[in-house]
Amino acid sequence: MENGFLFRQFTELRLLASGRIADLYRGVDPETKRTVCLKLMTAVSKADPAERARFLRAAELQSRVVHPNVLPVYDVRTGKEEALIVMKYASGGSLFHRLQTEKTADFSRLISWGKDLCAGLEAIHCAGIIHGDVKPLNLMLDESDRLMISDFGEARTIGEALPVQPQVVINGSPYYMAPECARGYAPTAASDWYSVGVILYRMACGRVPFNGPDAETVMRKHVYEKCADSRRFRSDLPPSVAELILNLLKKDPAARPADGKAIAAILSQCDRS
């Protein structure tokens, strides 16, 4: 793609990922010598003012939450048409890529990534923000495997009125989508916790609780099907952790646990198994 003037200030550029809204690059800021991640709007998103506004809004919401488990936004640069987000570079890549190679997480990873996820999500909710797209592709790992929540592209403040938009399904999101969202309702803090339940299940069992040939089937299962106990696929999982996962995956949003510290404390019991 054509690189704009905002982008040309960076050196040693390497494409990391390419999406509909943005392309992501690794680069070096020549002023600070820091390796950074650059999220640059694509031609498609530049052409649409609503997409551009969403892109900038996402960066604004992400930069509002300063927490070790939320990926830091360093800077947002805008030109007449262009917009670029400068972020911390996560050298460990995404949790999605890690789980592709490792399939399941051992207990020490399950605990540390689970705790990181809970702490980051709690900080986001405390800032009055719903993430709305918690999934392994949006969870980054740093050089010491610390997990940081990123991609606030679907985020909104609590109570914010939503522009009516068709249900968009991108990059395997239906696997991590809460039943109420699959039914077309806007995500709440409880929907984010449901996604945490799916991620814990995925890390523990090497599979998502609901699978199927297409997004509709998966979404229907989230709404109507009971999920199999995680201990069927990971028999050494402590019962309290298996129960926590089932509780996070409750169909009724009001029945799900939502206290990050309490959830993290239950995860720690994997230590004693």
Ligand X SMILES: Nc1ncnc2c1ncn2[C@@H]1O[C@H](COP(=O)(O)OP(=O)(O)O)[C@@H](O)[C@H]1O
- Residues of this chain that interact with Mg ion (CB under 5 A) are 138, 151
Give the nearest distance from C-beta 56 to ligand X in angstroms: 13
- Under the criterion CB under 6 A, does residue 127 sit at the interface with ligand X? no
- Under the criterion CB under 6 A, does residue 150 sit at the interface with ligand X? yes
Give the nearest distance from C-beta 154 to Mg ion in angstroms: 9
The pair phi, psi for residue 154, each rounded to 5°, is -110, 10
Question: How far is residue 261 from each of residues 3, 122, 182, 254, 265, measured CA to CA in Å?
Answer: 44, 8, 27, 18, 6
- Under the criterion CB under 6 A, does residue 16 sit at the interface with ligand X? yes
The two three-digit tokens of residue 106, written as one number? 């051992």
- Under the criterion CB under 6 A, does residue 151 sit at the interface with ligand X? yes
Give the nearest distance from C-beta 10 to ligand X in angstroms: 14
- Under the criterion CB under 6 A, does residue 153 sit at the interface with ligand X? yes
Is 219 within 8 Å of 177 (Cβ atoms)? yes
Distance of CA 208 to the CA centre of its chain: 15
Is 30 within 8 Å of 10 (Cβ atoms)? yes
Stretch touching ligand X by CB under 6 A, among 21-29, 219-227, 245-253, 260-268: 21-29
> Is 41 in a helix, a strand, or coil?
strand
- Under the criterion CB under 6 A, does residue 38 sit at the interface with ligand X? no
Q: Compute how many residues bind ligand X; rule: CB under 6 A.
A: 21
Closest to 93 (Cα-Cα) out of 40, 38, 148, 135: 148
71 binds, among ligand X, Mg ion, none (CB under 5 to 8 A by kind): ligand X
Strands 34-41 and 22-29, by their bridges, are antiparallel
Q: Which long-range contacts (CB under 8 A, 24 or more apart) does 44-47 make?
A: 44/20, 45/20, 45/21, 46/81, 46/82, 46/83
Residues 40-99 that bind ligand X (CB under 6 A): 71, 87-90, 93-94
Residues 94-123 that bind ligand X (CB under 6 A): 94
Look up tokens 């939450």; give the residue: 65
- Under the criterion CB under 6 A, does residue 200 sit at the interface with ligand X? no
Q: Determine the residue with CB nearest ligand X.
A: 19
Residues 129-148 that bind ligand X (CB under 6 A): 137-138, 140
Nearer to Mg ion, 23 or 151 (CB): 151
Of the residues 24, 65, 118, 244, which one makes contact with ligand X according to CB under 6 A? 24
**Rounded to whole angstroms, how far apart are CA atoms 171 and 151?**
13
Residues found near ligand X in the complex (CB under 6 A): 16-17, 19, 21-22, 24, 37, 39, 71, 87-90, 93-94, 137-138, 140, 150-151, 153
